[in-house]
Structure 1
Amino acid sequence: MKCVVKFCSPVLTVYEGVKSFYKEEDETLPVNMYGKSKVAAEKFIVEKCSNYAILRSSIIYGPQTVSPVAKSLPIQWMDSVLSQGQQVEFFNDEFRCPVYVKDMVNVILSLAKTWLSDGKKVQVLLNVGGPDRVSRLQMAESVATVHGYNHNTIKSVSASSVNRGVASPSDISMDITKLTQMLSIKPISFQDGVRATFDAEAS
């Protein structure tokens, strides 16, 4: 079977939370059906396609799109609930590497330009995350810091305190060394990304 898959973004592999900063070659240990479907998609693409770029991402955040999406965006949701001044619970033991949307776009554009200019087949699997490993709690604290909200309204809780009906990995933080070396792209810090999000929406 011959096919060309330029970009499959994001293809997120969900790991069992037994370590931090997973590398692309680390074993995938999905804990739920969502994760298993992503692993299956990666396997299919690698086996069946001769030209592909698989980009593994975590939480993609940034300003609202030109055509607003119906789903609540992470930073905007945190800002909304924290602005009300009431206590809100955030998990202190689920870790991700959120990536600013413009960094994700830059990665895709860089790969596309390389593919178009060289005319060679691309076969690459990359972690595309931000440089910071942060919990939901730390994300909320950054939003509060940037917008000057009272940190006392942020309550630290364990993810095990809430039954979400499906298993969720505790740590899917990603090592992005391969990304930065291959494309010379350094994603911005989470807090700087939060500032950029609010600045973009205010302009």
Structure 2
Amino acid sequence: MMERKRVLVVGGSGYVGQHLLQGLLTLESKPYDLAFTYHTPINEISPLAFRVDLETGFGLSDISDAFGQPHVIVNCAALSVPRDCEMDPSAAMGVNVPHYLVKWLSSFSETPLLIHLSSDQVYEGVKSFYKEEDETVPVNVYGKSKVEAEQYISMNCLNYVILRSSIIYGPQTVSPVPKYLPIQSIDSVLSKKTKVDFFHDEFRCPVYVKDVVSIILTLITKCFSEGRHMQLLLNVGGPDRVSRVQMAEAVASVRGYNSSLINPISASSVNRAVKTPADISMDISRLIQVLDITPTSFIDGVRLTLASS
């Protein structure tokens, strides 16, 4: 009898983590056992759960004892608010650079696959459609922590996939998270029927959360079916390069709000206490080629998000 595979979602109580757990739980054929780690307890999700502190490694040995050595680890855990990272660089590096997680998995008898969520903020933001091989020149602590994490993983892991995601948007989670949800936030302010400022010169390729889940599920399936080690870096964005103004216009179009409520301003006119790259739109042709996945258009993702609200 073949050994059942084991999948561990690190940061399963967060936004992407919860959506991923739901995706893993709803697959009709599950050739794996499932567990997750959390920092904030949640009760609405059923797999085996472990309290883990990534800054100290506390709790990782409990997973080995109770669950066994995972064959796939998906690391969704992060301090992802740039302003918070700027205020506490030590915590940002401690959480976002997975030293203890990598040391733990390097002790396994079999080499697991580590799927790690990185960020588009590794790029400097001075051009459009960055490719994976472009130089990483982060402009804030959050971006620097993500670059350091990528370097640490590539130097210390034999089997990994790094996913540089853009803004991830979509429906709220089963157990609501306090995380800023961009589409819901835009919808909320526009619904008040008063004029709101949006940046016209800050560009991203927002990606629908269920596309991120599909990408990770495809990688897990690929790992189990092919059994080969991977060393892969992928840009994970949506197919559309949009400004904050264009994001707001999409929400207004779907909801039927008057577009005159959207007031375009320059990002340089606002002090946000943290430097933010202007244009970190990404070329996702490698993602499409390697995994045969075409992400959802931004307007369709907005429709799906608001339909679920």
Q: Do they fold alike, i.e. is TM over 0.5? A: yes
CA contact (8 A) 1:15 1:172 kept: yes
Amino acid at match of 2:305: T
1:22 corresponds to which of 130, 144, 149:
130
Aligned partner of 1:125 in structure 2 is 233
**Out of 142, 145, 166, which is 2:250 matched to?**
142
Q: Matches of 1:166 and 1:199 in 2, distance apart?
A: 33
Q: In structure 1, what is the Cα distance between the partners aligned to 2:184 and 2:276?
A: 22
Structure-2 residue corresponding to 1:65: 173
Q: 1:15-58, CA deviations, whole angstroms, 9 ceiling, x for partnerless residues?
A: 22221100000011111111111101000000000011100001
Evaluate the alpha carbon distance shift between residue 109 and residue 174 of structure 1 in structure 2; reply closer, same or farther with a 3 A threshold: same
Q: Which string of whole-angstrom CA distances, capped at 9 and with x for unpartnered residues, describes residues 84-114 of structure 1?
A: 0001000000000000011000000001000
The alignment's TM-score, normalised by the length of structure 1, stands at 0.95
**Counting strand residues as a fraction of each chain, which structure ranks higher?**
2
Say whether 1:107 aligns with 2:253.
Answer: no
Q: CA RMSD in A?
A: 1.2
Q: C-alpha separation between the residues in 1 aligned to 2:258 and 2:209?
A: 27
Residue 56 of structure 1 aligns to a residue in which SS?
A: strand
Q: In 1, Cα distance between the equivalents of 2:208 and 2:307?
A: 13
Q: CA deviation at 1:12?
A: 4.0
Question: Residue 191 of structure 2: which of 80, 83, 102 is its match?
Answer: 83
SS in 2 for 1:127: strand
The amino acid that maps onto 2:196 is V
Where in structure 2 are the equivalents of 1:32-71 lying within 5 Å? 32-71=140-179
1:97 corresponds to which of 188, 205, 210? 205
Q: Aligned residue for 2:275?
A: 167
Quote how far apart the aligned CAs of 1:161 are: 0.7
- TM-score, L = length of structure 2: 0.63
What amino acid does structure 2 have at the position aligned with 1:92? H
Distance 1:159 1:13, change over 3 A: closer
CA contact (8 A) 2:119 2:143 kept: no
- The unaligned stretches of length 5 or more in structure 2 are 1-102
Distance 1:187 1:7 in 2: 19
Matched with 1:152 is 260
> How far apart are residue 72 of structure 1 and its match?
2.6
For 1:148 and 1:15, locate their aligned partners in 2 and report how far apart those are by CA, in whole Å.
35
Aligned residue in 1 for 2:115: 7
Name the CA distance, whole Å, in 1 between partners of 2:268 and 2:129.
Answer: 22
What is residue 186 of structure 1 aligned with on the other side? 294
Equivalent residue letter for 1:158? S
The ranges of structure 1 where at least 4 consecutive aligned residues each deviate by more than 3 angstroms after the TM superposition are: 1-5, 10-13
Deviation per CA, 1:158-189: give whole Å up to 9, x if none: 00110011110001100000000111100011
Structure 1 residue 122, shift from structure 2 partner: 1.4
Given residue 177 of structure 1, which amino acid in structure 2 is its aligned partner? S
Q: Which structure ranks higher in relative contact order (CA pairs < 8 Å, sequence separation ≥ 6)?
A: 1
Unaligned runs of 5+ in 1: none
Alignment length, in residue pairs? 201
What are the superposed Cα offsets for residues 106-157 of structure 1, whole Å, 9 maximum, x if unpaired?
0000010000111111111000000000001100000000000011110000
Q: CA deviation at 1:11?
A: 4.0
